[in-house]
Amino acid sequence: MKIEIKELKKSFGEKQVLKGITFESESGKAVGLLGRNGAGKTTSIRIIMGVFFQDSGEILVDGKKIERDKIRIGYLPEERGLYPKQKIGEQLVYFGKLRGLSKQQAREASAKWLDRMGMTEYKDKKLDTLSKGNQQKIQLAATLLCDPELVILDEPFSGLDPVNAMLLKEVITESIEGGAAAILSSHQMNYIEEFCTDINILNSGQISVSGKINDIKRSYPRDTINIFSQKPEEMTDFIKSKFSDGIQSADIDGKNGCVSVKLSSAKRKDELLSLLLSNKYEFDGFIVKEPSLNDIFVQYTEGGV
């Protein structure tokens, strides 16, 4: 299944929130939808869900206009949507029925996901008696009850401890590997890199950069090398003395034995590597420095809303 979001525009009063955004997701893959607060992520998600209607543009499923009643959608909102004073098991069955399951199917799906989340013992508890992390697990269970074909996750790891985060990672991975198309929105870039091959960064209602994360990183100059050595001072002095015409700078970066070398040209990295090997210099790593996803995010959203 392929989901295409094409040229979406949306205004609230005189404020244009979306200015023609286009991106896509498909079965078995996750795409990241990133942006600062107010950039238009939540509006985009709500249009996909049918909560809002776009002013123009379209959403296609396998080339045809989306029919939301014919595809299974699981949505985990940033602002959690369960009932704090209701029993967990009862409301999971209720949400299952809302998503088209029979009562028996909803009961079976609720039992399955409570067990998967390690939450069976809490099925008769009210939601607000649980910790924030456990409430988040119940919210994800509700999201996946209907075995969705499209999963939309808005800040799924917010406020989770490492153990609960690991469980949610496993469950989300299983859903994607099981064939779901996923759209993931988060400010936690490590999770975006872990799940997504492609990203779309929104800035003031427009997509400022999109594509495969690896391709975006490789589009940056590849003229800085990080060399990890047990003797960084000696390594730095050697490079400055023996390869001075090939570098702009060579400095120790941090306390982890990293020597950061700025080359005069990215094409000279093989020369530097050969020099170190021919002189039998020991080192633990020789890596082209790439920008982090956080660096890319900041660059493409600075000055935005």
How open is the CA angle 85-145-189, to the nearest 5 degrees? 90
Beta bridge partners of 152: 75, 183
* Residue 303: per-residue pLDDT: 59
Q: What's the CATH class of domain 221-289?
A: alpha beta
Query: Where do you find CATH 3.30.70.2810 in the chain?
Result: 221-289
Backbone angles phi, psi at 205, to 5 degrees: 85, 5
* Residue 305: per-residue pLDDT: 42
What's the chain's Rg over C-alpha atoms?
24
Query: Cα separation of 8 and 23, whole Å?
Result: 10
* Residue 30: per-residue pLDDT: 94
Query: Where do you find CATH 3.40.50.300 in the chain?
Result: 2-217
CATH superfamily of 2-217: P-loop containing nucleotide triphosphate hydrolases (3.40.50.300)
Half-sphere exposure of 99 (CA within 13 A, CB side): 26
Say if CB 230 and CB 255 are below 8 A apart: no
Which residue in this structure is represented by tokens 């609960």? 164
Query: Cα separation of 285 and 78, whole Å?
Result: 40
Tokens representing 195 are: 């799940």
pTM above 0.75, yes or no: yes
% of the chain exceeding 90 in pLDDT: 80
* Residue 276: per-residue pLDDT: 93
Query: Cα separation of 48 and 154, whole Å?
Result: 13
Instruction: Tell me which residues of the chain have a pLDDT lower than 70.
Output: 303-305
Which residue in this structure is represented by tokens 């299974």? 72
